[in-house]
Copies of this chain bind each other. A is one copy, B any other.
Amino acid sequence: MSDERPEPGTVRPGGRTAKTREAVLRAAGDALAEDGFDRLDLAEIARRAGVGKTTVYRRWGTVPGLVADLLNEMAADSLPRTETGSLLGDLTAQARLVQSTLSDPRQGPLFKALITAASCDPQTADALHRFYDTRTEEWAPCVTAAIERGEIPAGTSPTELIRAVSAPLYYRLLITGDPIDGAAADRAAQAAVTAAKAGAFA
């Protein structure tokens, strides 16, 4: 082992260190959204953040390491979940939320870059998995509530159903490049709910 980084900033996380981390992560997010994962220059990020490039290299080391930290930061702040009273209403709200995020001119490229970074580095991949596990768990109550209401079979897997809603939208983002519009979101939610009612996720 011994390729352990002492994880600087953990011993003295006060004022200056926190400000540096915040500034660098914000700059990293901007740069990822604008330029994409592969064109990322840590020196450029340092410049944007008003920080010495040595600091960035010392604390995060590599681009994937920095992205992983950004993902951990993003996993911290959670999103509000809608409760409409019907499974279709809830999952349509979820699909619309994903749709507006992925089609946003800043967030869309950012998420694409995050996923790209994760596919290049195991540490970043772990961070990405945790991020989406968190997001998935936030929406799981919609599914369990629908089960209690008797809308869908008892054995339905919340995880599988929630992901079935997102999957077609991410497929467009990453693979086909088709526009991610409201119609696509509604279709994704409708298809997932229909399949769930027929017991496809049980």
Identify the A interface with B (CB < 8 A). 36-39, 112-113, 115-116, 118-121, 125, 128-129, 132-133, 160, 163-164, 166-168, 170-171, 174-177, 187, 190-192, 194-195, 198, 200-201
Interface of A is mostly: helix
- List of B residues within 8 angstroms of A164 by Cβ: 168, 191
A162 to chain B, nearest CB (A): 11
Complex: A164 Cα to B192 Cα, angstroms: 10
A120-B38, A175-B128 known; A191 and B201 CB under 8 Å? yes
Chain B residues lying within 8 Å of A36, measured Cβ to Cβ, are 119-120
Q: List 8 A-B contacts (CB under 8 A).
A: A38-B38, A38-B120, A132-B175, A133-B176, A164-B191, A167-B170, A194-B198, A195-B195
Q: What's the number of copies of this chain in the assembled complex?
A: 2
Partner of A176, one of B38, B129, B194: B129
Complex Cα spacing A192 to B194, Å = 9
Interface pair B119/A112, CB less than 8 Å apart: yes
The minimal Cβ–Cβ distance linking A156 to chain B, given in whole angstroms, is 11
Instruction: Enumerate chain B residues within 8 angstroms of A112, measured Cβ to Cβ.
Output: 119
Contact status B200-A190, CB under 8 Å: yes
Contacts of A125 in B (CB 8 A): 177
C-alpha gap A38/B37 in the complex (Å): 10
Given A38-B120, A120-B116: A187 and B200 interface contact (C-beta under 8 Å): yes
